[in-house]
Amino acid sequence: MTFLVTGATGTVGRQIVAQLVERGAHVRALTRNPAAAGLPDGVEVACGDLTSPETLAPALEGVTGLHLITFGGDDFAELETGPEIVELAAKAGVTRVSVLSGWDESSVERALRAGSVGWTQLLCVEFMANAYDWVDSIRDEGVVRVFGNHLGAVVHEADIAAVAVAALVEDGHAGESYTLTGPEALTPEQRVRLIGEAVGRELRFEELDEAGYRAAMQAAGVTEDMIEFGVQLGANPPGAGAIVQPTVERVTGRPGRTFAQWAAEHAAAFKI
C-alpha cells in the first residue's frame, strides 16, 4: 500500500509520516516546498498544493491510504477545493482517508460525506504543541502570560498521529468521528509548571485580562482575526475542551501520552 500524507511537514503530519515509516509502509509526503521538507530517508516527497488540485494527481498515483488536512496556506484558511481533492482521490483508487479537522467543517469533510470513500474524522480540542507559543517568553523572561487559565485536555501530536495511522492501516474506522484528548485536563498554569520541571527552572505564570492580552498580541504583530479568536477562547472556552475522552487508548490500545512526557521530550526548545 502507498500512503499519501498531506500536511506532512507539520506538527501532526510529521508524526504520521514517522509512524507509517516505522510500520514499514511506503509513504509519500505532500509539500509545497520539497527542498525545505526535511523528511526522513525512505519517504517519497511529492510537490503539490491543496489549493490547486490539478497539482495533486501525480502525488495520488497508486495511493490507497490518504491523510488530509482541511486548510491551505499559512493563514490556515479553510480549503475550498474539497470536492476536487476527494474526486481525484476516488479516481486514484484511495480506499481509506483520515482527516485532521479544524474548528469548523470544511469543504473537505462535506465532500467526503457526499462521496463513497471510507473516511475517519479526527477532532482535536487543543494540541500540547501549542505550548511552543511560550518558547520565546520562557527563554527570554522565564514567564508565560495567558488570557484564560482554563482546564484543557490537551493531546500529544504523536497520539493524534497514532489514531490517524490506525484509521489508515486497519479496518473498522471508516465512518467514525473521533474526538481526541490527552489523558488529563490541565490549566496553562499547570502546564507551565510541568515545563519548568522538565527544563529545571522555576517559571512564572501571569494571567492577563482581556485588554492586556489584546495589547500583548498586537505588540507581537498577531492579526486582528487571530486576536479575536484568542479572546473568544479565553473568555468562553468550549466546555468539551476540558473533558478527557478515552478515544486514544480505545483506538491505539495504549494510554495517551501525558503533558509531562511532552514537556520532557521538548525541553530543549525551552532552555536558554
Ligand X SMILES: NC(=O)c1ccc[n+]([C@@H]2O[C@H](COP(=O)([O-])OP(=O)(O)OC[C@H]3O[C@@H](n4cnc5c(N)ncnc54)[C@H](OP(=O)(O)O)[C@@H]3O)[C@@H](O)[C@H]2O)c1
Helix (H, G, I), strand (E, B) or coil at 151: coil
**Does 87 help bind ligand X (rule: CB under 6 A)?**
no
**Does 153 help bind ligand X (rule: CB under 6 A)?**
no
Of the candidates 100, 82, 93, 130, the one whose C-alpha atom is nearest the C-alpha of residue 233 is 130
CA 19 to chain centroid:
15
- Tell me how far, at minimum, the Cβ of 171 lies from ligand X, in Å: 26
Among 16, 68, 69, 131, binds ligand X (CB under 6 A): 69
**Does 11 help bind ligand X (rule: CB under 6 A)?**
yes
Among 43, 66, 71, 156, binds ligand X (CB under 6 A): 71
- State how far the Cα of 61 lies from the Cα of 57, in Å rounded to an integer: 6
**Does 238 help bind ligand X (rule: CB under 6 A)?**
no
Q: Which residues are within 8 A (CB) of 15 and not within 5 positions of it... i.e. 6 or more apart? A: 157, 158, 160, 161
**Does 181 help bind ligand X (rule: CB under 6 A)?**
no
- Tell me how far, at minimum, the Cβ of 12 lies from ligand X, in Å: 4
Residue carrying the nine cell digits 503530519: 13
Tell me which residues in 108-147 interact with ligand X (CB under 6 A): 124, 126-127, 130
Among 18, 51, 145, 238, binds ligand X (CB under 6 A): 51
Which sign does the torsion angle of CA 221, 222, 224, 227 carry? negative
- Tell me how far, at minimum, the Cβ of 78 lies from ligand X, in Å: 9
Among 46, 92, 100, 162, binds ligand X (CB under 6 A): 100
- State how far the Cα of 15 lies from the Cα of 9, in Å rounded to an integer: 9
**Does 32 help bind ligand X (rule: CB under 6 A)?**
yes
**Does 49 help bind ligand X (rule: CB under 6 A)?**
yes
- State how far the Cα of 233 lies from the Cα of 254, in Å rounded to an integer: 30
- Give me the 192-231 binding string for ligand X, x by CB under 6 A, dash otherwise: ----------------------------------------
Among 2, 19, 70, 120, binds ligand X (CB under 6 A): 70
CB 30 within 8 A of CB 59: yes
CB 194 within 8 A of CB 130: no
CB 107 within 8 A of CB 79: yes
Cβ-based nearer residue to ligand X, 50 or 199: 50
- Tell me how far, at minimum, the Cβ of 59 lies from ligand X, in Å: 10
Among 2, 3, 4, 8, binds ligand X (CB under 6 A): 8
**Does 178 help bind ligand X (rule: CB under 6 A)?**
no
The DSSP line for 51-99 is TSGGGTHHHHTTEEEEEEESB-STT-PBPS-HHHHHHHHHHHT--EEEE
Total chain residues near ligand X (CB under 6 A): 29
Cell numbers given for 3: 500512503
Among 40, 42, 62, 73, binds ligand X (CB under 6 A): 73
115, amino acid identity:
G
Cell numbers given for 125: 480540542
Footprint of ligand X (CB under 6 A): 6-13, 30-33, 37, 49-51, 69-73, 76, 100, 102-103, 124, 126-127, 130
